[in-house]
Structure 1
Amino acid sequence: MPLPLPEREVFLSQPHVAALSVGRSAPGRAPLSVPVWYWYEPGHDLWLMTGRDSVKAKAIAAAGCVTLLVERLEPTIRYVSVEGPVVSREPSTREEMKALAFRYLPAEKVEDYLRVAQHEQGPQITVRIRPEHWLSADLGTV
């Protein structure tokens, strides 16, 4: 059964690991689908971060729109898929990096993660996406 908008937004605002899908311009290639951390607050654009020179960043820039899918299996199978245009791609701030790390990691691991991520992943960009098209279901209501 589809979820009403307020329930979709609350579900999307929880810290699920999402699957990001974005089309690629290379002939014969399927869309790129990768797990990502993201941030969403009801009624706002969602955002995620990626390496400035990554395959993901290049695909996002070329496509101009993405799909993000989040799901859970318990207590019921529930998912929200949101599609929308990329509205900005800007260099990430340390505050954004820290906020996202705190969302997904235990507090005692954040500083170590930030140090390693900055060294291994290089400069990051923050990609903002405007949710325009939603699909959702909670299969526990069937």
Structure 2
Amino acid sequence: MALPREERERFLAEPHIGALSVDSGSEGRGPLSVPVWYQYQPGANLWVLTGRDSRKAELVAAAGRFTMLVERIQPSVRYVSVEGPVVGTVPATKDDLREVAARYLPADKVAPYVDEAWTAHGEQVVIHMHPEHWLSSDLGSF
């Protein structure tokens, strides 16, 4: 059963690992699909942080849109997939990295991760997507 708007937005706002998919731009190849951390607040744009020169960033820039799928399998099988246009790409700040890391890591691990990642991962960008098309379901508990 499809989720009502408020429920799918709340679910997307939870800290799931996302699967970002974008057109690979290659004839005879499927989309590039990779796991990512993301940030989302109900009613706002979704954003991901990635390497400025990464294949993912290049493909998203070329396509101008991407899809994000998040799911959980316990206590019930539930997912939300959202697709939409890129509405902005900006250089990432250390605060952006800290915000997204805090969604996924224990509080005592955030600062060490941010310090390491800020220098080790090279230049990063934040890609903002406006959620336009939603697909969701709650398949219940098994």
Task: Please give the root-mean-square deviation of Cα atoms over the aligned residues, in Å.
Answer: 1.3
Runs of 4 or more, structure 1, over 2 Å off, are 26-29
| Structure 2 residues not aligned, in runs of 5+ | none
Measured after TM superposition, the shift of residue 27 of structure 1 is: 2.2
Q: In the alignment, is the contact (CA less than 8 A) between 2:21 and 2:31 conserved in 1?
A: yes
Report the equivalent of 2:104: 104
Report the equivalent of 1:74: 74
Q: Give the TM-score of the pair, scaled to structure 2.
A: 0.96
Measured after TM superposition, the shift of residue 26 of structure 1 is: 2.2
* 1:137 and 2:142 aligned: no
- Structure 1, residues 71-99: CA drift from partner, whole Å, max 9, x if none? 00011100000000000010011111101
Report the equivalent of 1:31: 31
Hey, what's the Cα distance between the residues in 1 that align with 2:63 and 2:24?
Answer: 7
Measured after TM superposition, the shift of residue 120 of structure 1 is: 2.2
Hey, what's the Cα distance between the residues in 2 that align with 1:26 and 1:114?
Answer: 34
* 1:22 and 2:60 aligned: no
SS at match of 1:102: helix
SS at match of 2:53: coil
Measured after TM superposition, the shift of residue 12 of structure 1 is: 0.3
Range 90-99 or range 20-29, more displaced: 20-29
Hey, what's the Cα distance between the residues in 2 that align with 1:123 and 1:131?
Answer: 26
Q: In the alignment, is the contact (CA less than 8 A) between 1:24 and 1:62 conserved in 2?
A: no
Report the equivalent of 1:52: 52
Measured after TM superposition, the shift of residue 127 of structure 1 is: 0.4
- Structure 1, residues 2-57: CA drift from partner, whole Å, max 9, x if none? 00000000000000000000001122222100001111111110111000000110
The one-letter code sitting in structure 1 at the alignment partner of 2:102 is: F
| Structure 1 residues not aligned, in runs of 5+ | none
How many aligned residue pairs are there?
Answer: 142
- Structure 1, residues 99-128: CA drift from partner, whole Å, max 9, x if none? 111111011111221122122210100000
The one-letter code sitting in structure 2 at the alignment partner of 1:88 is: G
